[in-house]
Amino acid sequence: MSPNFDLHEESVIIGGRAASVRWRRSQRARRVALKIDPQGGEIVITLPPRGSRRAGLALLRGYEDWVAAKLAALPAPMRLADGEMIPVCGTPRTIIHDPVMRGGTVIAASIIRVTGQKEFLARRVRDALREFAHERFSQRAHETAAKIGVRPRRVRVKDTTSRWGSCAPDGTLMFSWRLIMAPDFVQDYVIAHEVAHLRYLNHGSAFWDLTNRLTPYRAAATSWLSTHGPGLLRIS
């Protein structure tokens, strides 16, 4: 059995508005934890093995103002649909459904042209962006790693909500496919950050010194992700 599993979802009133709460039970949790899931726009309360719903609600009410402010600050969700505009490498592209075109999804300078039936459009766009992200991030990660004489075991892309990238102990680098929508300088920083972990699997001073040598964009990129990252998580 997974150490984490959902219990149920329910609606509560937060700051005078209805909000969704997803309850989770974790065998590893030592205390009740509260977070906002920006992708789903919901509250997630994690309970330890013996934690009670009452304790979870008490924590939620204790931080009600903070939760209400975080929910209110979330960008509106955006669907991958015909006519919508989404960024790729920071440049806006308009999604255009072209059912008579052949050759799959094409990411061009100002558009994303999608073939096939309209009900599969969102999935086709996601698949194309994931493929593009894997190709781009893999190439840039290997190029960056070569500068310091290391090599990632492999590069993967996933759909994560808590981190833009990670480095496993075995040298596997993982990046959120949504990072492909961020500007180049943001991608550069996240890739450099994870490549630096191939040398230092910690956040000590040596790690940050190496990261700063690999990229000049640390401050600008972290600021951009703090401001605009939640918006990327709301695109589905």
Please write the tens of the pLDDT for every residue from 67-110.
Answer: 999 999 998 899 999 999 999 999 999 999 999 888 789 999 99
pLDDT given at position 55: 95
What pTM does this model have?
A: 0.85
Residue-wise DSSP of the chain = --SEEEEEEEEEEETTEEEEEEEEEESS-SS-EEEEETTTTEEEEEE-TT--HHHHHHHHHHTHHHHHHHHHHSPPPB---TT-EEEETTEEEEEEE-TT--SS-EE-SSEEEE-S-GGGHHHHHHHHHHHHHHHHHHHHHHHHHHTTT---SEEEEE--SS-SEEE-TTSEEEEEGGGGGS-HHHHHHHHHHHHHHTT-SS-SHHHHHHHHHH-S-HHHHHHHHHHHHHHHHTB-
Domain(s) of CATH 3.30.2010.10: residues in the chain: 85-233
Please write the tens of the pLDDT for every residue from 132-175.
Answer: 999 999 999 999 999 999 999 999 999 988 899 999 999 999 99
pLDDT given at position 162: 84
pLDDT given at position 1: 40
Please write the tens of the pLDDT for every residue from 19-45.
Answer: 999 999 999 999 999 999 988 899 999
* Fold of the domain spanning 85-233: Zincin-like (3.30.2010)
